[in-house]
Amino acid sequence: METFNVMFERLLIYVEIDASATYGTGITAIKLTALGRPQLLLQLSEVIMRARKYMTEIVGGEGNVLSHHMTIQDLEQKLSKIKDQESVKKFLTQITADKQGILHLFPWSGIIDENQELSNTFRVPDLKTGRMSRLITQLSPKEEEMFRNMIRRMNTIVKAAQDMDVRIMVDAEQTYFQPAITRITLEFMRKYNKEKAIVFNTYQCYLRNAFDEVTTDLEQAKRQNFYFGAKLVRGAYLEQERARAAALGYPDPTNPSFEATSDMYHKTLTECLRRIKAFKDLGEEKKIAIMVASHNEDTVRFAIQKMKEFGIEPEDKVICFGQLLAMCDYITFPLGQSGYSAYKYIPYGPVNEVLPYLSRRAHENKGVLKKIKKEKRLLASEILRRFATGKWWYTPKGDYTPV
């Protein structure tokens, strides 16, 4: 408990630093696993996967609730044979729906309600037994308290960020945690992203389902009328995901190659840009905000080219770029000088805690490290240019104000 409180206090400090250190809206990245017990996220993720399976069993086919366009009346008819009709009626009153059909089987907003218990939320009519059954293992009062504490810490951080004009980007984790992290993040989006994108979710494009997850969440934001924020990355747990899949005997959730991951990244980004353009045409600018978090030159070029194709200008301030400090400055600086919103990501904290993160980034970006020769060549060329022109102190012109 003390460790989570320490991490919580640090994150609040980081939000304050971001608010004072940037020329415009700052950005702070956080990990939900640093704010509460990861096992609880694992349990909630299992509930989400069981809920998806339950919906598939009821309506048939593949996909999530949003793809079926089933109405509450349709579901009521399906459940008419359940013996405990009083519980069924209560279940149906908690469902979220619109004119297109059911959005959610459960009142997911309850998971960020500090006064609601998880154990009493996830009960569904069982078609086989004719009774109500739980999708989550009964949590102890202590576990319920720990989950509420995690949500309370997250809520305090996001509220502080909103007050200080700082965006919160919730980092992605391993696939067995991610359903819960995404669900919690989307609920905080629904709560706080009413006038602008304050809360962002992170999507790892080395996963085979990245495009489907992003499009599903974009659709949720559109149908529930909140601003959507996403950070697109390639991913950080590739070897761990593959090893776990092999050990437990389930299909590898990752793309088979770097090229396939790049294709997934570009496909997902293109869909986001297409939807941004659609909102722009309707006069509803900035309903979607995207960070292209990549050290890959081809991906950055792709993003700029697609922005031009869709008529999205840098001054629209709906796309920003991010790279780690001291990595690929030759990409970041020209972006900023050209008017694009470009950020340098600075890991901050005790050395023994930051080093594992930096080692993962270095391993993940082995290709970037090979480009050091190019960066040295560019620096040498600039030094020679300044020597030849006599401009030792030179500041290129550009719009340096980020989003």
* DSSP per residue, 66-110: GGT---HHHHHHHTTT-S-HHHHHHHHHT-EEETTEEEESS-GGG
CB atoms inside a 10 Å sphere around CB 304: 18
* Helix or strand holding residue 306 (H, E): helix 297-309
- Give pTM, 2 decimals: 0.87
Pair 241, 253: CB distance under 8 Å: yes
Tokens of 333: 């600086």
* Helix or strand holding residue 6 (H, E): helix 2-21
pLDDT at 403 over 90: no
Q: Could you tell me whether strands 199-204 and 96-98 are parallel, antiparallel, or unpaired per DSSP bridges?
A: unpaired
Percent of the chain with pLDDT over 90: 42
- Partners of 321 in the β-ladder: 292, 342
Measured CA to CA, the distance from residue 114 to residue 176 in angstroms comes to 24
Q: What is the pLDDT of residue 130?
A: 82
Tokens of 303: 């993003």
The candidate with the shortest Cα–Cα distance to 37, out of 13, 7, 12, is 7
Arithmetic mean of pLDDT over the chain? 85
Q: What is the pLDDT of residue 369?
A: 56
- Residue 254 DSSP class: B
Could you give the angle at the alpha carbon of 165 between the alpha carbons of 161 and 166, nearest 5°?
55
User: What is the dihedral sign for C-alpha 237, 240, 246, 249?
Assistant: negative
Residue 180: partners with Cβ closer than 8 Å, 6 or more residues away: 32, 40, 41, 42, 43, 44, 45, 48
Query: What confidence category does residue 325 fall into, taking pLDDT thresholds of 50, 70 and 90?
Result: confident
pLDDT digits (tens, 9 = 90+) for 68-104: 888 999 988 888 888 888 888 988 988 899 989 988 8
